[in-house]
Amino acid sequence: MKLKLRGKDIRNIGYPEGPVISVAMGIMEKHYKHSSLAEALAILKQVLENPAEYKTNEILGKIAESLLPKVSPPTGGGDLEEVGASISLNNTGIQFNVFGGEHIEQGAMHQMYSAAKLPVAVAGALMPDAHHGYGLPIGGVLATENSVIPYGVGVDIGCRMCLSIFDIDVKELNTKEKFFSRELCEATLFGSGATYKEAEDDAVMERKEFFELPLLKGLHGRAWKQLGTSGSGNHFAEFGIIELAEKDAVLGVEAGTYVGLLTHSGSRALGANIAAHYTKIAKQKRRLPQEASNLAWLNLNEEEGMEYWIAMNLAGDYASACHHIIHAKIAKQLGRKPMKMVENHHNFAWKEMYEGREVIVHRKGATPAGKNVLGIIPGSMTAPGFIVKGKGETASVNSASHGAGRKMSRTAALGSVTHKALKEILQKHGVILMGGGLDEAPFAYKDIEAVMQSQTQLVDVLGKFTPKIVRMCGDKPKTHMNHKRLKEDSITEGE
């Protein structure tokens, strides 16, 4: 049988997106056509790890050349970084801890190995829900020295979980099912490019940053119309049952059973455009080897780095405002104020102390888990989520997973999951789904219970959230969208 490679196979062993994928496929299928898939991938892995050694190889040289950075001499004086010269990765990377390694694909591991070799890397960790992304893997945590990596934060800047706990009898989720379903539909908009005709009102839109940075000024109008929307992909708004076994001093809610409103969404087109703009600048300033090109950074003492930091924080506050608007609308209709609101970003960078010095901690699809820090780690539309309290574990750079994590790509899910199977599992768990699609079916996600078991040293579980009425985007999944649209709604990163 002749060798048949897929782009997915090559990406999964750590190859970056780009021409090298097709180059590798063509060469391997021509010159190693009688090799097994495992043998071919082993050869490609060796080239990826040491492309310089294969540069003169008669057959594999073209693959190696595609992996090596294209070096051009500086056109003027000054710092090499400032003129965009090539930057090499360190030969050996920093040590990083992996939690739940048995749940993590090799593509994500290789991306983390590349990140660990960055000259600015200080510490790192990989969470049990990790999977392949752009630059830093989703579920990757990286601390750096005085520098921020736009793709270390992710496309959907400030993507966030927000949970409101209501003192409402959980039986009402059944007896008033239509009421709760209607409120989820009316409180927010889902879908690619969704905007309101009349903008919501929130103080975040008056922030001076919108009028001081040219990029943000140009994004202000659309951001206002998207304020309070939820996007597409794995973003959701759902009602469910909260179970608290005992009162926790930090959470401050008595043991019992409550109705919960849980939302997941980010900064929409605002964050996507910020990410695209500053990633382009970072790549121009710091040209890394191809396998690490999406990890280009900006120093925080240079103008572009300071601008990105300002824009990133604004996008994070904007994402938070979107959630607060949704929760306020629903609370008003319920006629109740929440007993407690718990929320956290999981696509962001923070200035934190690590082993006695200030570092920039990137959590791309990872939940902050500092000592006594509250957070939410969701499962899927049928699997429970968890209210957690961080233990402040240095080994994970004070982080935990941000969810169950995908085990199946969107394309794979669409090709293998049937509507019948989705309907059956929803019925089995007593879940009502509005919108959603096969690409977000529970089968596409890892076992949240196994993921949580892999991080018992990172967080304490305070309570469980079981979904009952779920609202997601009903648009047809865009698995073949162009890159610009992919970035805009970040449906590949979920982030």
Work out the average pLDDT over 351-360: 95
Region 168-173 average pLDDT: 97
Confidence of residue 193 (pLDDT cuts 50, 70, 90): confident
* % of the chain exceeding 70 in pLDDT: 92
Backbone angles phi, psi at 401, to 5 degrees: -65, 160
Q: What is the pLDDT of residues 289-323, one digit of tens each?
A: 988 999 999 999 999 999 999 999 999 999 999 99
> Considering the chain, what is the average pLDDT of its residues?
90
- Chain segment 277-286, per-residue pLDDT in tens: 999 999 999 9
Looking at per-residue pLDDT, the higher value among 17 and 133 belongs to 133
Residues in a beta bridge with 140: 126, 364
Confidence at 488, pLDDT banded by 50, 70, 90: very low
The answer to whether the beta carbons of residues 162 and 323 sit under 8 Å apart is yes
Buried b (16+ CB within 10 A) or exposed e, 448-474: beebbebbeebbeebbbbbbbbbbbbe
**Quick check: 467 and 184 in contact, CB under 8 A?**
no
| Length of the chain counted residue by residue | 495
- The lowest-confidence range among 35-39, 218-222, 359-363 is 35-39
Residue found by looking up tokens 């995908």 in the block = 406
More confident residue, 26 or 129: 129
Taking 80 as the threshold, does the pLDDT of residue 490 lie above it? no
Read off φ and ψ for residue 189, nearest 5 degrees. Answer: -115, 140
**Residue range 49-107, pLDDT digits in tens:** 777 778 888 899 889 888 876 543 333 333 445 446 689 999 989 999 999 999 898 89
Helices 214-226, 303-334: crossing angle, 10 deg rounding? 10
Backbone phi and psi for residue 261, each to the nearest 5 degrees, phi listed first: -115, 120
Do the beta carbons of residue 456 and residue 419 sit within 8 Å?
Answer: no
pLDDT digits (tens, 9 = 90+) for 91-114: 989 999 999 999 898 899 999 999
Contacts of 200 (CB under 8 A, 6+ apart): 224, 227, 228, 325
pTM of the model: 0.81
Q: Looking at the domain that runs over 160-489, which CATH code has it been given?
A: 3.90.1860.10
Q: Pick the range with the lowest mean pLDDT from 55-59, 210-214, 458-462, 478-482.
A: 478-482
pLDDT value of residue 478:
52
pLDDT at 20: 81
pLDDT digits (tens, 9 = 90+) for 224-236: 999 999 988 899 9
Q: Are 185 and 194 in contact (CB under 8 A)?
A: no
Tell which phi-psi region holds residue 148, choosing left (phi > 0), alpha (psi between -120 and 50) or beta: beta
Helix, strand, coil fractions of the chain, as percent rounded to 5: 40, 25, 40
Beta strands in 34-109 (DSSP E): 96-98
What is the C-alpha to C-alpha distance for residues 213 and 273, in angstroms, rounded to an integer?
A: 13
Return d(Cα 426, Cα 423) in angstroms, integer: 5
Q: Is the dihedral of CA 293, 294, 298, 299 positive or negative?
A: negative
Q: Count Cβ atoms within 10 A of the Cβ of residue 144 and give its class: 0-12 exposed, 13-18 middle, 19 or more buried.
A: buried
Instruction: Average the pLDDT over each of 41-50, 130-139, 259-268, 466-475 and give the range with the smallest value.
Output: 41-50
For the chain, percent of residues with pLDDT exceeding 90: 73
Question: Looking at this protein, which amino acid is placed at residue 434?
Answer: M
Tokens read off for 363: 């959590």
Q: What is the pLDDT of residues 365-415, one digit of tens each?
A: 999 999 999 999 999 999 999 999 999 999 999 999 999 999 888 889 999
List, in sequence order, every residue forming a beta bridge with 257; answer none if it has no partner. 243
Whole-number pLDDT of residue 366: 97
- Evaluate if residue 493 carries a pLDDT over 50: no
Distance CA 465, CA 89 (A): 43
Distances (CA, A) of 222 to 227, 271, 367, 372, 433: 9, 12, 28, 37, 29
Predicted pLDDT at 235: 96
Q: Determine the pLDDT at residue 70.
A: 53
